[in-house]
């Protein structure tokens, strides 16, 4: 059976979206049950945002 490369890309996108939704649900349940985790996640997000902004500035 011959499959096109576009079909493989679409399968990968679908698998990635499914994994993302599952991780989002699990993560939300963890954050809801542990308030400290929410604070740490927010701090990590802000740090990552800062790193990406710095990298973007360096490549200009």
Q: How many domains are there within the chain?
A: 1
| Structural domain that includes position 46 | 28-60
Report the C-alpha gap between 60 and 58 in whole angstroms.
6
Predicted pLDDT of residue 58: 85
The CA–CA distances, whole Å, from 33 to 3, 4, 21, 44, 55 equal: 44, 44, 19, 18, 34
In a domain, 57, yes or no: yes
Q: Is residue 16 part of a domain?
A: no
What pLDDT was estimated at residue 19? 92
Residue pLDDT, tens place only, 1-14: 567 888 888 898 99
Domain membership of residue 38 (yes or no) is: yes
Predicted local confidence at residue 1, as pLDDT: 57
Work out whether the CA dihedral 41, 21, 18, 30 comes out positive or negative. positive
Q: pLDDT (tens digit, 9 = 90+) per residue, 8-60?
A: 888 989 999 999 898 888 888 887 788 787 788 888 889 989 998 998 888 87
Q: How much is the pTM?
A: 0.50
């Amino acid at each position: 059976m011959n499959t096109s490369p576009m079909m493989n890309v679409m399968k990968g996108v679908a698998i990635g979206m499914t994994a993302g939704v599952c991780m989002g649900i699990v993560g939300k349940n963890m954050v809801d049950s542990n308030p400290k985790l929410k604070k740490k996640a927010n701090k990590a997000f802000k740090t990552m945002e800062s790193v990406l902004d710095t990298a973007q500035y360096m490549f200009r």
